[in-house]
Chain A
Amino acid sequence: MAKKQSSLINMVLTLFVITVVAAVALGFVYYFTQEPIAQVKEKKLNEGLMKVLPAFDHQVAEEVEGVPTYKAFDANEQLVGTAVEVVTDKGFGGDVKVLVGFDTEGKIFGYTVLEHKETAGLGSKMGDWFQEGGKGNVIGKDLSTPAKVKKDGGDVDAITAATISSRAFCDALNKAYATYVNTVGSCVSTDTLIVKDSKCCDTLTNVSTVCKSGENSIEVTLKEEGGQDNE
């Protein structure tokens, strides 16, 4: 078969046909991989949350002032912990992204470093250093007094020879705590409704925020539209 002439119509037609075929083929692949990709993403998030929160049954994702937070509940709709995903730009090599989990009393339950560009062998140790059993253990810490490295007058042991990375980590913790306080605060700030029985939650359709306060009561904030009235 002879080679096609490079006439305008030939060129336009060829490119058109090739792009259409490519687009259709890609559409198919996208369609078939869409679900596995979503599953992978969810699995990854859940694995991260599992590391930083007490055992939970399901979680509700929410954005608080642009910061992704995840509230975890057990099977009885009791809040067991809140995880906050924070980014700090104070790192030695750039942004540091940390997922910090708090228990219901606001103490750190766990953390995991999601992304960092710290120096390999120094700042990169932050993934283990501050865990339980690490030298700079922060697990169980109450952050109502902000975390600070010892050099700055705080009580966190900095990573040897990586004070800046350690400072960035403390900054991330403090930011996470600020967001955590915010989520708890936002529950009470808007119109609230006290529901006596926690099982009632299952029937509420447009619940935007649920959090525990007091002993047996759960505060439920309804969206502006209201939806159906509750008994």
Chain B
Amino acid sequence: MNNWKNFTKGFIKENPVLVMLLGCCPTLGTTTSAINGLSMGLATTFVLVCSNIVISLIKNLIPDKVRIPSYIVVIASFVTVIDLLMQAYLPGIYETLGLFIPLIVVNCIVLGRAEAFASKNGVWASCVDGLGMGLGYALALMILGAVREILGSLSIFGWQFIQADGILVFVLAPGAFFGLAYFIAVVRRFNK
């Protein structure tokens, strides 16, 4: 029951982007298409789950005063791991996301969950929390990416349904702000 709650809260009730407004930089930067948003979300999920597990395991070994640098080292290691793995095995996606992968280190969600959840809870709960939060983040990014892709390039998951140029603003940065703003507004409307 409790674990289920931990898992589902990341999707709507405490969604990192849409409710807590954390991690907006990659949200705005990488959601030019559904597939980009989804891969960024999954990369973040990987880091989030791994760092939550490790941090909840070692939380008692770390003196309070150096906990932030320790967490950052742990997070940065996992980010570098996924960075290298993507370079090696997903070169196409790495090319578009390249710049934003190292930035996961400073993504507020990861450090936020480490500090707010993993450092106070057990391994299993932290793992579930990271997974829920990460997938909620990935879902939000994918939907935003899909909306921008449909409007901006008239395609979805790379499939072009009309052979024409879309409304280019939605591929550019201003479109990300428009999309995110209305997305948040809609979620708020139904979250009440």
Complex: A in contact with B (CB within 8 Å): yes
Residues of A within 8 A of B (CB): 1-7, 10-11, 14-15, 18-19, 22, 25-26, 29-30, 33, 36-37, 40, 44, 120-121
Say yes or no: A1 contacts B60, CB within 8 Å. yes
Say yes or no: B168 contacts A120, CB within 8 Å. yes
Q: How far does the alpha carbon of A206 sit from the alpha carbon of B61 in the complex, in Å?
A: 57
Say yes or no: A7 contacts B77, CB within 8 Å. no
A-B contact count (CB 8 A): 66
* Binary flags per residue of B83-109, CB closer than 8 Å to A gives 1, else 0: 011011101000000000000000000
| A4-B63 contact given A121-B165, A121-B168, CB 8 Å threshold | yes
Say yes or no: A11 contacts B168, CB within 8 Å. no
Closest Cβ neighbor of B91 among chain A residues? A40
Complex interface: chain A residues within 8 A of B171 (CB): 120
- Does B81 have its Cβ within 8 Å of any Cβ on chain A? yes
Tell me the dominant secondary structure on chain A's binding face. Answer: helix
Report, as a range, how many residues of chain B touch the other chain.
20 to 34
Say yes or no: B70 contacts A37, CB within 8 Å. no
Q: How far does the alpha carbon of A10 sit from the alpha carbon of B66 in the complex, in Å?
A: 10
Q: How far does the alpha carbon of A7 sit from the alpha carbon of B63 in the complex, in Å?
A: 8
Say yes or no: A120 contacts B172, CB within 8 Å. yes
Tell me the dominant secondary structure on chain B's binding face. Answer: helix
Say yes or no: B66 contacts A11, CB within 8 Å. yes
Complex interface: chain A residues within 8 A of B73 (CB): 15, 18-19, 22
Complex interface: chain A residues within 8 A of B168 (CB): 120-121
Say yes or no: A33 contacts B84, CB within 8 Å. yes
- Does B74 have its Cβ within 8 Å of any Cβ on chain A? yes
- Does B192 have its Cβ within 8 Å of any Cβ on chain A? no
Closest Cβ neighbor of B60 among chain A residues? A1
The 5 lowest CB-CB distance pairs between A and B, nearest first, are A36-B88, A6-B65, A6-B63, A22-B77, A33-B88
- Does B116 have its Cβ within 8 Å of any Cβ on chain A? no
Q: How far does the alpha carbon of A18 sit from the alpha carbon of B72 in the complex, in Å?
A: 10
B119 nearest CB across to chain A (Å): 10
Say yes or no: A40 contacts B87, CB within 8 Å. yes
A188 nearest CB across to chain B (Å): 39
A28 nearest CB across to chain B (Å): 9
A87 nearest CB across to chain B (Å): 18
Say yes or no: B80 contacts A26, CB within 8 Å. yes
A12 nearest CB across to chain B (Å): 9
Complex interface: chain B residues within 8 A of A44 (CB): 91
Given known contacts A10-B63, A120-B172, what 18 new A-B pairs fall within 8 Å (CB)?
Answer: A1-B60, A3-B64, A11-B63, A11-B65, A11-B66, A14-B63, A14-B66, A14-B70, A15-B69, A18-B62, A19-B73, A22-B76, A29-B85, A33-B84, A33-B88, A36-B89, A37-B88, A40-B88
